[in-house]
Amino acid sequence: MDAEKAHHLTYDALKAGGPVLTRARIPGRAPVEAMGLTFPNRLGLAPGFDKTAEVYDRMGAFGFGHVEIGTVTALPQPGNPKPRLFRLPDDRAVVNRMGFNNDGAETVARRLAGRRRKPGGLVLGVNIGKSKVVPDDDQAAVEADYETSTRLLAPHADYLVVNVSSPNTPGLRNLQAVEKLAPLLAHVRRTTDEAVTDRRVPLLVKIAPDLSDEDVLAVADMALDLGLSGVIATNTTISRDGLRSDPAKVEACGAGGLSGAPLRERSTEVVRLLRGRVGDRLTLIGVGGISTPADARERIDAGADLVQVYSGLIYGGPGWPKQVLKALR
């Protein structure tokens, strides 16, 4: 079955099961304090599964203690032409070039407006990115674009993530350069504090595995200087090195970000680099290449406070998160 069609069928089933799943107790509770928030456990669902905030509240029933929605952009956009999502089963990997398809910040904010925060309940992260039509070399326009999303969505988020690391929006990764990233994050921080006055919303940045070690450490230093709450490591990779899949099949997938098992080694190393640099001063969320319960344990041992999965869920099935939670306990 086409991978994107399978995704939408799953999504529709979750919508149908909404009332039952939403009321279900989150299994595997082992609360973790991070960023001033209480997470029911260390396991989260990475962004990309629920881009538009329609089924995130169902995912606690499968074991997730937090869900990150998005990536959401200021403007609604259809994303890249289809087909744009492909599986590589021999590598337990996925290639996507979705292109931040989403309903836009205003619509997503409206969906989240009725959400009630429950102490110890499912933690909601909101991941925001740049609208495709905004040129990455116009810093003022980029900041204005992220400001729109921040003002609309920060009031509904338990934590907010600035995504500058997807390979599927032209020029987006250029914003990872510290000289561009630092003023952008500072602007988002100011905007968040103006939009939400009754609490401090934690702000994190998500980085790519393709950064050099030197650039990873530069981002760590910048996050400390700006007083960010944490770093999420890592997004998908543009590399195709070391894959077991037939090269013709890999080539047929075309451009896009690779996720899944092949990311494990580099994503773990990035977490280890970050922890060595920041000590206990930042929260680190490890994501990328977690395909087995042992992988999740390895990421925690490398220095992650929390972990997120997505491709592992695709290959592991709905019972897989509970196996991961068992390993984390």
- Place 85 in a pLDDT band, splitting at 50, 70 and 90: very high
Tell me the per-residue pLDDT of 275-299, one tens digit each, with 9 for 90 and over: 999 999 999 999 999 999 999 999 9
Q: Give the whole-angstrom CA distance, residue 118 versus residue 125.
A: 14
* pLDDT at position 243: 98
We report the CATH number of the domain holding residue 121 as 3.20.20.70
Find out whether 50 is annotated in a ligand binding site.
yes
Bond prior to 71 in cis (omega within 30° of 0): yes
Q: What is the mean pLDDT of residues 39-50?
A: 98
Q: Is 65 annotated as a binding residue?
A: no
Q: Does the annotation flag 168 for ligand binding?
A: yes
pLDDT at 117: 80
Structural domains of the chain, count: 1
Report how far apart the first and last C-alpha atoms of the chain are (Å, whole number).
35
H-only helix segments in 117-263? 139-153, 178-195, 213-226, 247-253
| Residue 97 assigned as binding residue | yes
20 inside domain: no
Residue 131 in domain = yes
List, by residue number, the catalytic residues. 166
Q: Is 174 annotated as a binding residue?
A: no
In which band, very low, low, confident or very high, does the pLDDT at 234 lie, cut at 50, 70 and 90?
A: very high
In a domain? residue 7: no
Residue 28's pLDDT band, with cuts at 50, 70 and 90, is confident
| 267 annotated ligand binder | no
127 marked ligand binding residue: yes
* Residue 41 labelled as part of a binding site: no
Is residue 313 assigned to a domain?
A: yes
Looking at every residue in the chain, the average pLDDT score rounds to: 96
**Would you say residue 18 has pLDDT above 90?**
no
What pLDDT is stored for residue 119 in this prediction?
A: 72
d(CA 133, CA 108): 19
Asked if the model's pLDDT at residue 160 lies above 80, the reply is yes
Residues 91-132 have pLDDT tens digits of 999 999 999 999 999 999 999 998 888 777 999 999 999 999
Nearest one of 225, 204, 228, 213 to 286, comparing CA atoms? 204
pLDDT at 116: 81
With 80 as the cut, is the pLDDT of residue 49 above it? Answer: yes
The answer to whether residues 205 and 161 touch, using CB atoms and an 8 Å cutoff, is: yes
236 is in an annotated binding site: yes
Q: Residue 205 belongs to what domain range?
A: 26-328
Secondary structure (3-state) at 230: strand
12 in a structural domain = no
Per-residue pLDDT of 185-195, as tens digits, reads 999 999 999 99
Q: Is residue 97 part of a domain?
A: yes
Contact 106, 151 (CB under 8 A): no
